[in-house]
Structure 1
Amino acid sequence: MSLPMLRGCCRVPSALRLFVNESIILSRSGKQRLPPSSPAAAATAPVRPYSSDRGGLNQNQKVVVVGIPNPFMWFRTRIYYFLIRSYFDKEFNIEEFTEGAKQAFSHVSRLLSQCQFEALEGLVAKDLIAKLEEKCSLMPSSHKKALSAESDEIMYTIPGDVGIYYDDNGRKFVSILMRFWYLTSARLPDSDMEGTRFFQVAIGGEGEAETKRLLTANYEFQREFTKGVPPDWTITRIEHSKLLD
């Protein structure tokens, strides 16, 4: 099973291909791992403006994701990208990977929100699907709706941890954790979403505005680079802050 927008990483521009791979789903306890790079903090990133009416005045507002980049961590992740290009995939490009991961995040989060767990097979690791199904069965409908991230509501995307793994049989794996910030209009109780931001977004004529929250999510993509194994990525970790912690 594949997605139209997800093809082989760095072999088709701006895309990823996600397939579940039985060897990737194995427990990591038997793998040897190189020291992972810590995530570089998100740099200040202005995103597209929204307008709101306050007191009859039109004001342009911007949703801005602010962070302080760590130069050491930023440099270390670049070393990992260099290692991936040198020893695993010479066509690897983090910008193309990021764009493909963004599309995959939007698609998978929508399926998760709709509890279409069978449709997640081939995209998300099987053991993870079982855990997600268990968690979602206990969630109220408002929380499920908030899991979905439409592509035009994703405010910012940045790579986090990068890991290189070897198991006892010499198989090679690469994992990349992606961090996403997105807006949702789902009605969520304030007590459950303490610390999240509110935004007033104009969606129609004068006086018509919609309140949205800025939420975060972490998705980890993993691929086996052993010779002879198909170049397929699978999602092995899904976290939605305040929803699927």
Structure 2
Amino acid sequence: MFGGLRQIASCTRWAAGPLQRQTRTRCGWRSLHTANTLSQRQVSKPSTGSVKVWYIPNPFKWLHNRMEIAALQKEWDSSFNLETFKLGAAQAICTVSDLMSQREWGELRGLLTQKAIDNLRATKWTFDQTHNLTLCPENVQTIVIKDVKLQSIVDQKYCDIDVLLIGAREPYSVEKHSLVVLEYFARFHRNYSEGRLPEWTITVFKLQSFQAAPQRTQT
């Protein structure tokens, strides 16, 4: 579903197919090949102890999204697989969170639109947010498809998929906080028009919620 990528330092673009690059982040060297790096077990079980975060979707919205995905598979992209997309989206969001935390704005070109990058650069982060923005795949608690929109304008075909990722990570300062929970929102856009490259791009990316649990005082 995602792929056609070179090493992140030299190229930042998605295309249809599996991710096949490596990137150096604070999570260490890791391959972005969704077939063997981000299993369902990694998504559902983070490395932050027994903490669990649950998200209950609106049933009507869930049904709408399923219908849109079925239409996408039937009319535009028979190879589209929702679970593969979600795993690739989770890896992509983790990569963006790390590059964003390091202020590697140039490396985000192609992964994000220029407008999305500019919006991130203009964001005023708190000290705690600045030092706790990065999520690794093992931090991911859940990933939810919030909305799916298919749009046809004359001979142009567009697909937007809104994704909410919730992750829990160990804090930058363990003396100050015991746990940090982040919610990232990302809108993945693809132009399915004839002759266009099979690439997904993030048009909106934002930290939707940030919660840092204070460390208990030892007595």
Same fold (TM over 0.5): yes
Instruction: Map Cα deviations across residues 89-146 of structure 1 (whole Å, 9 max, x no partner).
Output: 11000000001001101111100111111110011001111121122xx324432222
Counterpart pick for 1:8 among 15, 23, 35: 15
* Alignment-mate amino acid for residue 205 of structure 2: I
Is this contact kept in 1: 2:148–2:160, CA < 8 A? yes
Greater CA radius of gyration, 1 or 2? 1
Matching residue of 2:129: 143
Matching residue of 1:102: 90
* Alignment-mate amino acid for residue 208 of structure 2: S
SS at match of 1:131: helix
SS at match of 2:107: helix
* Alignment-mate amino acid for residue 77 of structure 1: N
Structure 1: which 5+ runs fail to align?
Answer: 18-44, 52-61, 189-199, 201-207
* Alignment-mate amino acid for residue 176 of structure 1: I
Length-normalised TM-score, structure 1: 0.64
Q: Which runs of 4+ in 1 moved over 4 A?
A: 3-7, 48-51
Shift of residue 240, structure 1, vs aligned partner: 0.7
> Aligned pair 1:241/2:219, yes or no?
no
> Aligned pair 1:178/2:163, yes or no?
yes
Shift of residue 7, structure 1, vs aligned partner: 5.4
Is this contact kept in 2: 1:182–1:215, CA < 8 A? yes
> Aligned pair 1:158/2:144, yes or no?
yes
Counterpart pick for 2:68 among 74, 80, 85: 80
RMSD: 3.0
SS at match of 2:66: helix
Is this contact kept in 1: 2:139–2:168, CA < 8 A? yes
Identity of aligned residues (%): 24
Instruction: Map Cα deviations across residues 40-61 of structure 1 (whole Å, 9 max, x no partner).
Output: xxxxx9645755xxxxxxxxxx
Shift of residue 224, structure 1, vs aligned partner: 0.1
Number of residue pairs aligned between Structure 1 and Structure 2 = 181
Counterpart pick for 1:90 among 78, 95, 103: 78
Shift of residue 69, structure 1, vs aligned partner: 4.1
- Where relative contact order (Cα < 8 A, 6+ residues apart) is larger, the structure is 1
* Alignment-mate amino acid for residue 153 of structure 1: N
Is this contact kept in 2: 1:164–1:175, CA < 8 A? yes
After TM superposition, the structure 1 = structure 2 runs for residues 29-48 of structure 1, keeping only pairs within 5 Å, are 47=45
